[in-house]
Amino acid sequence: MHRCLAIPEIAIEVAGHVSRGLAAKPTLARMARTSRVFSSPALDELWRAPGQAALLHLARCLPPDFVDISGGVSVHDPYIVVLLRAFTISDWDRPALYARRIRDIAYTVNSALLPATSLFPVLTLLATCAPGPHLFPRLTRLRWNTMASTVPDALAAASLLRLFLGPELQAVFLTGHAPTVLSLFPILVNQQLALRDVTLSVHAANGFDHFAQSLISDFTQSLHHARTVQIPRVDAASFAHLSRLPTLTELDVTQGIDSSVLGLTNNSSPSVAESYLALRSLQLSACADCNLLAKILPAFFTKSPLEDLVVFPAFDTTNDALEHLFGVLPSLAAAAAATLQRFELWNYGLNSLAENGGWTLPRTTLSSLRSFTKLTCLRLGAPSGFDFGDAAVGDLLVACPLLETLWFTQSKSAEIQFTHAVFLLLVRHAPSLVSFGIPFSTQGPLPTAYPTGAKGERLMQTTLDDLDVGYSPIVDPFPIAELFSSLFPQLDAIATDWDPLPDPDDEENDEDAEPDEDAQESDIFYQRWKEVEKLAPKLAAIRKGEQFWRASGNE
């Protein structure tokens, strides 16, 4: 072995490289067994993030004359732990060798209805044997999931949560129903951890009552070193606390901002204007109140160096609310114009939202976004479509030449405002675009005058390789494929929102059921777009071959 490999830093780098490769675990295990130099670095990587099974592996390291662990083979074969003799401190020597190497672990509290998948008996054994206050003293990341558990099971497991809360813990991800997750807050707060990354994925079937919201707020206000925070709701107190954190760079509010936050805007103190000074990512998921957002954005985020701004509007969002929101976006330009790279405003289920009206994105949408010239990703979705067309898209592309991803999505019933002429604008003004999504009309004659440069040379866009046409109708695939192959020679994936008919060979399908007219039409459009996807790269290859042949002939 080369003497350089005996340098500890190099051995650590080698083990880290192996951990990112194929067959990492068996390779690391062999390294640990065959070389004293690589033994410790290899074991560190092997046990760094071993998953929930690590609990069972550690228990298997206990002396066989001390404990017998059986079961876990099937659903009807739960884990059974039987102590064979009294525990001695030396019994923990071997498990301790590996427990201190674990830095990242996930634990799922399963219901008693699935006993074979529950490691709670094993965790209880380890809790009994571990001599110190922490089972994994160097743990930095913990994911605790109670979604599949009953409340009694979750609370029983919560009693052992303290074993995971070591002094080096920095990231906590809690997932589950409200009672089980909220019950963990006092334990976490009491430990006074310097948490940097916190994710609370809390599910409440009927929303959060005042008591639950107060618990979430109190826990949020206990975070003093947070860098990234994902929480269900924020009220005025928690919002104000987060705004003052000098370390906070990412904030994701998944179930809304309380209207009480508006009371803070009446405060004329300098602290309001000096809010969220380090925030780079703001995401408002699921049910963002756009009227409220339009009022707090200019009040609290004008000095935030935002790079990402993602908004999922509430289902009952109105056109007036969106008009108001896009009207205030330019007020962020002072700080964010030079930093904002990603802006998204859309939501899931646009078709179902359109059935109840749904919003339309106003004409001011793109004119407001033109202020952010560093944009690389823009995604807009509207159930009832867009109140602008090709020209507005062209102006946006001129103002934001760095765009790599640009998507416009709408429901099937919304009126289409864009035409195939928009693709000529892409060739002229979007040199960096890689992914593009837009519903467009294929009616009317296709453009015959392709874009040319200053010297009359043919222009092509050579970075676009992913196109989503949404609910674009199509009659003849060939001319569309010819257009795409001419403008976008690297295009190799075309997606559509039209659905094909179910596979007749699928056993779950009813063979006697006749598809309705809408399903048949959807299948026709789907198949035509799949034909375009097949034809476009073939035509591009033929055109490239002809160009090469002509160039060779001229020589």
Per residue in 209-230, pLDDT (tens digit) is: 899 999 999 999 999 999 999 9
* Residue ranges making up the domain that contains 3: 1-46
Weakly modelled stretches of the chain, pLDDT under 70: 1-2, 4-6, 9, 11-12, 15, 75-76, 111-117, 267-271, 333-335, 447-451, 453, 505-513, 547-548, 550-555
Is the backbone of residue 385 left (phi > 0), alpha (psi -120 to 50) or beta? left
For the chain, the residue count is: 555
**Exposed/middle/buried for 464, CB within 10 Å: 0-12, 13-18, 19+?**
buried
pTM of the model: 0.87
Q: Is residue 82 part of a domain?
A: no
Q: Which one-letter DSSP state was computed for residue 257? A: B
Query: Can you name the residues that pair with 382 across neighbouring β-strands?
Result: 410
Q: Is residue 217 part of a domain?
A: no
What ranges make up the beta strands (E) of 5-113? 67-70, 80-83, 104-108
- Position of tokens 């109670």? 146
Q: Is residue 29 part of a domain?
A: yes
**Exposed/middle/buried for 444, CB within 10 Å: 0-12, 13-18, 19+?**
exposed
pLDDT reported for residue 269: 57
Neighbour tally for 17: CB within 10 Å: 11
Q: Is residue 41 part of a domain?
A: yes
Domain count, the chain: 1
What ranges make up the beta strands (E) of 404-552? 405-410, 418-419, 435-437, 440-441, 466-468, 493-495
Q: Positive or negative CA dihedral for 525, 530, 533, 534? A: negative
pLDDT reported for residue 249: 98
Q: Is residue 514 part of a domain?
A: no
Q: In this structure, which amino acid lies at residue 450? A: Y
Q: Is residue 20 part of a domain?
A: yes
Nearest in space to 118 (alpha carbons), one of 184, 176, 52, 51: 52
Q: Is residue 371 part of a domain?
A: no
Is the backbone of residue 233 left (phi > 0), alpha (psi -120 to 50) or beta? beta
pLDDT reported for residue 512: 58
Neighbour tally for 91: CB within 10 Å: 19
Contacts of 72 (CB under 8 A, 6+ apart): 56, 78, 79, 116
Q: Is residue 37 part of a domain?
A: yes
Query: Can you name the residues that pair with 311 across neighbouring β-strands?
Result: 284, 345
Query: Can you name the residues that pair with 409 across neighbouring β-strands?
Result: 381
Neighbour tally for 5: CB within 10 Å: 12
